Amino acid sequence: MREWIPVPGSAKARLIEAAMHQFEVAGYEAVNVVELASKASVTTGSLYHHFGSKLGLYLTVREELEKRIVERIEGAAAAAGGGRPAVRAALLVAFDAAVKFTVCRILGEQPPVEREDPVAAALKPLLTKHKAPAADILAAAWRAALLTVADGTTAAAARASLGYVLGR
């Protein structure tokens, strides 16, 4: 069993569930460790024991979500066959998944640490020209669309806008 899969109902699982909710509602910066632990019905010591810090918990949650999104990007791109249609399909499927999982703010906001963007990295093999800048720009547009949903725009309107940016 992989380490990131907590036993259901365990303190670690409750912390991850509470963290997903709190980080989605408020964003990383606004989440308070004491409130987060309270919502998970654990002590702050439990949070520090399992994750080392609020940042450790956030990165655990975010990296797992990003793995799931990248899997969807790769699957959609493969199904679309390549080129611009593959990029479009990949980002729209990833958008739909983030909306379905209710993790738009988590995946839309910039992480509090500098690291490679896994969504941009997943897009690079799909691009033929200007891979790095184009992948970064497209990933930023995807994240911006997610943040608009987190801030109250309907998913349909944000998806339509993202589709417009991606072209046909």
Task: Using a cut of 0.85, tell me whether the model's pTM lies above it.
Answer: yes
- The rounded distance, in Å, linking the Cα atoms of 55 and 92 is 29
Note the pLDDT of residue 1: 37
Average pLDDT (93-105) is 98
Which candidate, 64, 50, 131, places its Cα nearest to that of 101? 64
Banded pLDDT at 10 (limits 50, 70, 90): confident
Domain containing 47 equals 11-59
Whether residue 34 is found in the same domain as residue 78? no
Banded pLDDT at 18 (limits 50, 70, 90): very high
151: Cα separation from own chain's centroid: 15
- Look at residues 59, 82, 98 and tell me which one is the last residue of a structural domain: 59
Note the pLDDT of residue 3: 53
In total, how many domains does the chain have?
2
Rounded mean pLDDT of the chain? Answer: 93
Whether residue 121 is found in the same domain as residue 69? yes
For the beta carbon of residue 52, count every other beta carbon within 10 angstroms.
12
